Structure 1
């Protein structure tokens, strides 16, 4: 069952019930559905939530659908996204969808719990010469009482994220396909021939993974500074510790996010295999069926996360597959409004970027017959394994790695 947003003056307006039979959309709706299975690691999934915002212009003709996907730490209910960006996208005539996709909140989990690695306390006692109880809080209190302002980085904590972890592309993309299918099954009125995705940073990477997984479903992609391949230390930053920290009453404490991915033992079911990395590499020849899709792409010449030459390699792969318009932003393009620098994300105005991309795109292109209607079988060879996604006309799908 959907839940509905609350507000003061707009409460009644926002709480108009969605009735798929009557096809009378509310201004804003929120749904919680079953998430697709974690087909790679088999870890249980929490329910998947998403929000839809509709143009309220009195025009009942089917409107194009637009997914906005934010990057790491994305909150679809954040002040900027929910308060400014989404209303702007809706004002342009798009039914706009935001999804609480897998891993999106790994870095921003509210009230997280912290643990320590095995042997942590024994190592601390040996190095410090102080007999402390097996309690991280007691260690921090001891440091604070002795005027120590930092717990040494080698004693970083591990932040627990429940069943969430950094899948880096696969589950996040499947979550958006699950939402798309759920909207069709509910009878949400949108133009199924005009479905777009707008993403930035890791969200842009998910947009391009969607194009790989469901090349017949989307008519246009707008991406800003997308990742080009998986970054192992992003998938499990225990391998690159001390990157994050928090203040514990005057004591700096370093931490890493917990992740199930491992690379120590190849027999471990969570071992990160070359095949796992290959499916996450956008530069592979995995775009069969995407002919006719428009891709509007932006990247900074000084991007410190994804070097410009790596993005150029992706563009070279895409040129013969899609209708590509690529912009490598240089210092000459920095205007302080649309592009504020040439680094990752360009510090771009997302509203301005979308408007600029739509000017380049013109009309939203139309493509007939999504992957579900076609009952497509996506078969993507990756080293010694093959990733498959089997779509059915009842808007179900099954992803597997064989």
Structure 2
């Protein structure tokens, strides 16, 4: 009887180990799959998001000890890599696994109702959970990769989510590239005020509304928030931030981007800005100074590449452990409380704690 019970126990333990390994396995070729993520208050209950993986040469076997990880994040209303970089080019030119995510509210914005636009909050958590999944799976499968080469890039809404990921995981990214992203949830965009940006995030000033935008919720979504940038610096932030923005952009206003960069510089963050003017238009990389701007894949490689591609004079490697390894809380105070991004389980979860 003891032998039978021991055999059953061993079988169950082995079964649990196999299940854990199997759960963390990555597809052998470019593919997509779903992962669990944090609950969205507007649709209570379990939630999952779709993740798209792109390997160098389209196969996991091509990942090597120099290969990095890159979030490649789509635009507002898009899916997969729309409005972002071409994964085939990024994986080849940068030697990275490109990770795209259908974060909360992906897909046509016109088809969605009942909730204001998340504006990088849970969207960043979704993207970071996808990154964490790939990071831990590679570690568990003992597949060599360069964990000091972790990046994010995106265009428009994806640029906004990239910068929010960088904010929520200040020890994780070596370099991030924002192309025409939204620097802040302004009153104009939040409440669809006349004469400003064409973006309408559909928030309410009514404190009794489910769509109410509280002061703290607006402050946490301000990428250039001076207090939060100082907090990032105090936490030891040492990544490279690349901002590419058109001087004629009225959708994600240029003046907001300019202010964001100035605030980053004032906080002594390492930021490089390329503000595109008429003189920069070459018909190849830059085609206009507005929101579409030009070839975003070429922008990522040309302006992010010097810091991302090994062998370049400006190439860098991150020194600190990732937030997934540190498992510490990342905290941003607001006028009405504080936002806590917890990594206690190795994956992020965000919560608000009122005063």
Q: State the TM-score, normalized to the length of structure 2.
A: 0.77
Residue 178, structure 1, aligned to residue 180, structure 2: no
Correspondence 1:134-149 to 2 at 5 A: none
Residues 364 and 230 from structure 1, CA distance in 2 versus in 1: closer, same or farther, beyond 3 angstroms?
Answer: same
**Alignment partner of 1:318: what SS?**
helix
CA distance in 2, matches of 1:367, 1:389: 21
Residue in structure 2 matched with residue 88 of structure 1 by the alignment: 89
Q: Once the two structures are superposed, what CA deviation does each residue of 1:183-220 show, in whole Å capped at 9, x if it has no partner?
A: 23333644222110011111111111111111001110
CA shift for structure 1 position 173: 0.5
**Alignment partner of 1:325: what SS?**
strand
Residue in structure 2 matched with residue 263 of structure 1 by the alignment: 205
CA distance in 2, matches of 1:58, 1:267: 54
Residue in structure 2 matched with residue 60 of structure 1 by the alignment: 64
CA distance in 2, matches of 1:399, 1:378: 9
Residue 339, structure 1, aligned to residue 286, structure 2: yes
Residue in structure 1 matched with residue 325 of structure 2 by the alignment: 373
Q: Please tell me whether the aligned partners of residues 90 and 301 of structure 2 are also in contact (alpha carbons under 8 angstroms).
A: no
CA shift for structure 1 position 169: 1.1
Residue in structure 2 matched with residue 206 of structure 1 by the alignment: 161
CA shift for structure 1 position 327: 1.1
* 1:304 aligns with one of 245, 250, 253: 250
CA shift for structure 1 position 46: 3.6
CA distance in 1, matches of 2:339, 2:24: 40
**Alignment partner of 1:295: what SS?**
strand
Residue in structure 1 matched with residue 270 of structure 2 by the alignment: 323
Q: Which moved more, 1:183-192 or 1:61-70?
A: 183-192
The structure whose Rg is larger is 1
Residue in structure 2 matched with residue 249 of structure 1 by the alignment: none
Q: Please tell me whether the aligned partners of residues 299 and 345 of structure 1 are also in contact (alpha carbons under 8 angstroms).
A: no
Residue in structure 1 matched with residue 78 of structure 2 by the alignment: 74
Residues 193 and 318 from structure 1, CA distance in 2 versus in 1: closer, same or farther, beyond 3 angstroms?
Answer: same
Q: State the TM-score, normalized to the length of structure 1.
A: 0.69
Residue in structure 2 matched with residue 384 of structure 1 by the alignment: 336
Q: Please tell me whether the aligned partners of residues 229 and 281 of structure 1 are also in contact (alpha carbons under 8 angstroms).
A: yes
Q: Once the two structures are superposed, what CA deviation does each residue of 1:274-300 show, in whole Å capped at 9, x if it has no partner?
A: 211111111213231353201111111
Q: Please tell me whether the aligned partners of residues 65 and 95 of structure 1 are also in contact (alpha carbons under 8 angstroms).
A: yes
RMSD: 3.1
CA distance in 1, matches of 2:122, 2:301: 29
CA distance in 1, matches of 2:92, 2:116: 34
Q: Please tell me whether the aligned partners of residues 208 and 221 of structure 1 are also in contact (alpha carbons under 8 angstroms).
A: yes
- Structure 1 runs not aligned, ≥5 long: 1-18, 110-158, 245-255
Residue in structure 2 matched with residue 97 of structure 1 by the alignment: 99
Q: Please tell me whether the aligned partners of residues 37 and 126 of structure 2 are also in contact (alpha carbons under 8 angstroms).
A: yes
**Alignment partner of 1:395: what SS?**
coil
- Structure 2 runs not aligned, ≥5 long: 1-20
* 1:356 aligns with one of 296, 302, 305: 302
> What is the count of residue pairs matched by the alignment?
311
Residues 370 and 59 from structure 1, CA distance in 2 versus in 1: closer, same or farther, beyond 3 angstroms?
Answer: closer
Residues 58 and 225 from structure 1, CA distance in 2 versus in 1: closer, same or farther, beyond 3 angstroms?
Answer: closer
Q: Please tell me whether the aligned partners of residues 379 and 386 of structure 1 are also in contact (alpha carbons under 8 angstroms).
A: yes
CA distance in 1, matches of 2:273, 2:162: 15
Residue in structure 2 matched with residue 291 of structure 1 by the alignment: 237
CA distance in 2, matches of 1:334, 1:351: 16
Residue in structure 1 matched with residue 28 of structure 2 by the alignment: 26
CA distance in 1, matches of 2:171, 2:201: 36
Residues 258 and 364 from structure 1, CA distance in 2 versus in 1: closer, same or farther, beyond 3 angstroms?
Answer: closer
